[in-house]
């Protein structure tokens, strides 16, 4: 049995439509291109002269994120669920230079609400992406996550660490889905010699994060700006390391386009680790807010520490984050002040 036969043909879907080929520029596919990271990536690719096909079903992304690109001749939006095969929506798969595979709910609130969708997009959706790549020989970058390390017992986390994941806990739908996506991607590389690179993205923030996606930076900024209590989960001693979106996009482009990344697994994130309580205090101060702190129960399996070891990214890509937490927060707060979330 093939998944393609079982799922029907995308040309028969109401929303799917064939994309017009372009001879002038190299074509890049971005799954999840209407999301937070994906939309910034589409911007960066277009700026660099690529023709971009963005495939998204808007389950957690939004049209507003890519609205400014819709009239650009180098940009094509294909509204489609990638768990349904989509190779016939691409002019000729051999015209694709590469695929950035980002489609997946990403915030704990989103993947709890869409647990099965998250499992299916990372398994069946990833399979469909890899098959499109195999047809035409495109390179695939899989957007994986620091969550594959679970609640890590070692710090910082290097790519060789296998992780500490609860396979049946509330985060399993995301963690195990991404671990499966990694295993499938590696299997295509081993069996077919497909050109692949896996990046494990650590907490990233910036403009275009949805106000309601429940992640800590948008929550704290909105709460601080409206002088409402900042909701710290647990005692706030758990740590995270926050990377600004522009640095991450630079890392994603380097991971895809640098020589010598085939078959590699690369952490991308900012090693600047801090407690969640200190992040709350910092955002409150930056917003000149009179908010109080309220301490709410720590969600089950919430990782207690997270910090990337980025020595591999530094060595292979010559990449490390350049934008400070303060600079990134200033830009993000300004964006929220414009009321676009
Ligand atoms: P996001 O929710 O803003 O974007 C995900 C996009 O994928 C959305 O536009 C959504 O509509 C789309 N999508 C989901 N399922 C789809 C499907 N079946 N078919 C088509 N499109 C679908 O999330 P994000 O923060 O931009 O994350 C993007 C990627 O980066 C995800 O794969 C996520 O796991 C990974 N990642 C993000 C972070 C982070 O801090 N933001 C950290 C680690 C990993
Ligand atoms: N968190 C918090 N208050 C909030 C949202 C999140 O204290 O309003 C905590 C959460 O428990 C976790 C950290 O902030 O320890 C980061 O959460 P987020 O959902 O942003 O991403 P995660 O790293 O858990 O995927």
Q: What is the pLDDT of residue 341?
A: 62
Q: Distance between CA atoms of 21 and 130, rounded to whole angstroms?
A: 20
Helix ranges (DSSP H) in the chain: 3-7, 36-47, 108-113, 115-120, 126-136, 172-192, 216-225, 245-257, 276-286, 311-317, 325-337
Kindly give the pairing relationship between strand 239-241 and strand 273-275: antiparallel
Model confidence pLDDT, tens digit, residues 218-258: 999 999 999 999 999 999 999 999 999 999 999 999 999 99
Ligand 2 atom nearest the C-alpha of 109 is 19
Which of these is catalytic: 111, 149, 174, 188? Answer: 174
Q: Does the beta carbon of 181 sit less than 6 angstroms from any atom of ligand 1? A: no
Helix 276-286 with 325-337: angle, nearest 10 deg: 60
**Which ligand has its closest atom nearest to the C-alpha of 179?**
1
Compute, in angstroms, the gap from residue 113 CA to the centroid of ligand 1: 14
Residue 22 has pLDDT above 70, yes or no: no
**Which ligand has its closest atom nearest to the C-alpha of 198?**
1
Residue among 7, 13, 36, 217 whose CB has most ligand 1 atoms within 8 A, to mutate: 36
Average pLDDT, the chain: 92
- Nearest CA-CA partner of 137 in 181, 95, 100: 95
16: Cβ contacts below 8 Å, ≥ 6 apart? 10, 78, 79, 80, 84, 86, 89
Structure pTM? 0.94
Q: Rounded mean pLDDT of 2-27?
A: 41
Of all residues in the chain, the percent with pLDDT exceeding 70 is 92
Residue 188 has pLDDT above 50, yes or no: yes
Q: Does the beta carbon of 30 sit less than 6 angstroms from any atom of ligand 1? A: no
**Which ligand has its closest atom nearest to the C-alpha of 106?**
1
Q: Does the beta carbon of 58 sit less than 6 angstroms from any atom of ligand 1? A: yes
Report the length, in residues, of the chain: 341
Q: Which domains does the chain have, with CATH numbers?
A: 2-205+243-272+305-323 (3.40.50.720)
Residue 285 has pLDDT above 80, yes or no: yes
Q: Distance between CA atoms of 309 and 297, rounded to whole angstroms?
A: 29
Ligand 2 atom nearest the C-alpha of 230 is 8
Residue 101 has pLDDT above 90, yes or no: yes
- CA angle (136, 142, 148) in 5-degree steps: 150
Q: What is the pLDDT of residue 107?
A: 97
Bridge partners, residue 51, by sequence: 27
To the query of whether residue 174 is one of the catalytic residues in this protein, the response is: yes
Compute, in angstroms, the gap from residue 102 CA to the centroid of ligand 1: 5
CB 279 within 8 A of CB 325: no
Helix, strand or coil, per DSSP, at residue 79: strand
Exposed e or buried b for every residue in 67-103, given b needs 16+ CB within 10 A? eebeeeebbbbbbbbbbbbbbebbbebebbbbbbbbb
């Amino acid at each position: 049995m093939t998944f393609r036969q079982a799922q029907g043909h995308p040309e028969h879907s109401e929303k799917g439509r064939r994309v017009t080929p372009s001879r002038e520029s190299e074509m890049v596919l971005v799954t999840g291109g209407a999301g937070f990271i994906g939309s910034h990536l589409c911007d960066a690719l277009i700026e660099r002269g690529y023709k971009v096909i963005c495939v998204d079903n808007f389950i957690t992304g939004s049209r507003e994120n890519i609205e400014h690109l819709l009239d650009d001749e180098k940009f094509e939006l294909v509204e489609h669920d990638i768990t349904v095969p989509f190779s016939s929506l691409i002019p000729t798969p051999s015209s694709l230079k590469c695929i950035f595979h980002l489609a997946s709910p990403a915030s704990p609130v989103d993947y709890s609400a869409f647990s099965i969708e998250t499992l299916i997009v990372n398994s069946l959706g990833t399979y469909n992406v890899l098959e499109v790549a195999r047809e035409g020989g495109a390179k695939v970058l899989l957007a994986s996550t620091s969550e594959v390390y679970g609640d890590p017992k070692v710090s910082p986390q290097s790519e060789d660490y296998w992780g500490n994941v609860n396979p049946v806990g509330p985060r399993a739908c995301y963690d195990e889905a991404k671990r499966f996506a990694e295993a499938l991607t590696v299997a295509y590389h081993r069996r077919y010699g497909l050109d692949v690179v896996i990046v494990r993205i650590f907490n990233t923030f910036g403009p275009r994060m949805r106000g309601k996606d429940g992640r800590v930076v948008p929550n704290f900024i909105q709460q601080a700006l409206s002088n409402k209590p900042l909701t710290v989960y647990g005692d706030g001693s758990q740590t995270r390391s926050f990377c600004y979106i522009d640095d991450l996009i630079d890392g994603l482009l380097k991971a895809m386009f640098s020589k010598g990344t085939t078959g590699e697994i690369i952490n991308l994130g900012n090693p600047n680790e801090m407690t969640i309580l200190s992040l709350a205090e910092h955002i409150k101060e930056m917003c000149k807010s009179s908010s109080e702190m309220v301490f709410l129960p720590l969600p089950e399996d919430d990782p207690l520490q997270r910090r990337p070891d980025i020595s591999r990214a530094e060595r292979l890509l010559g990449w490390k984050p350049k934008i400070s937490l303060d600079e990134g927060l200033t830009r993000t707060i300004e964006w929220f002040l414009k009321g676009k979330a």
